[in-house]
Amino acid sequence: MSTREAEAIPAALKTLVEELEPLDRTERAETLIDYADRFVEVPPEVARRPFPEANRAPQCESEAYVWAVDRPDGTLKFHFAVENPQGISAKAWGAILDETLSGEPLEQVARVPADVIFRIFGRELSMGKGLGLVGVLELVTRAARERLARGPR
C-alpha cells in the first residue's frame, strides 16, 4: 500500500486491514462471519421496504442498500440493508463500513480505495462478490463526496 493510500484510509479501517491481511483463509472467514453476525439492518426511521433503487448497490448479488445520515458533527452515519439472507459477505462489509467509517472525516471516507475490499476479503474473492462489494463502497464514498460538496451545515 502506498503512503497516499494509507493516508486515505481512516484509522479504524486501516487497523482492520492490517489485522486481517496476515490471517489464513480459515481465520479470515471466521472473522468475517463474526462481522456478519454484528450486522444491524437499517432502522425503520431511516428507510422502509420497498427500498428505493437509488440506494441499491450496483452489481450486488445480495441486493445491498446504503444510506448515509448526517450527524451533528458534520460526519455521516452509514446504514445498510442486505435482502439476500445468504449475503454473508455483504453483511460483513456493511458492518465493517459502519464500524470503521461512520463518524470519520468525510475527506477520508470519500477517498477509501476499492483495493481495501480485496485486502479484507482476500484475493480469492469471486468477481461477482467483488463487484457487489465495490458497489457498496462506491455508494458510501459518493455519499461522503456529496456531503462535502454541500459544505458546512
Q: Which of 93, 81, 91 is nearest to 122 (CA)?
A: 93
Q: Which of 102, 93, 85 is nearest to 134 (CA)?
A: 93
Q: How many CB atoms lie within 10 A of CB 145?
A: 14
What cell numbers appear for 65 in the block?
Answer: 442498500
pLDDT tens-digit readout, 37-91: 999 999 999 999 999 999 999 999 999 999 999 999 999 999 999 999 999 999 9
CATH number at residue 93: 3.90.1010.10
Specify the pTM: 0.93
Report d(CA 84, CA 86) in Å as an integer. 5
Partners of 79 in beta bridges: 67
* Adjacent-strand bridge partners of 80: 41, 66
- For residue 152, being part of any structural domain is answered with no
| Domain carrying residue 142 | 3-147
147, 108 contact by CB (below 8 A): no
Cis preceding linkage at 50, omega within 30 = yes
- Number of domains composing the chain: 1
Q: Is 139 a member of any domain?
A: yes
Q: Is residue 153 part of a domain?
A: no
What percentage of the chain exceeds 90 in pLDDT? 88
Quick: pLDDT tens for 5-43: 556 789 999 999 999 999 999 999 999 999 999 999 999
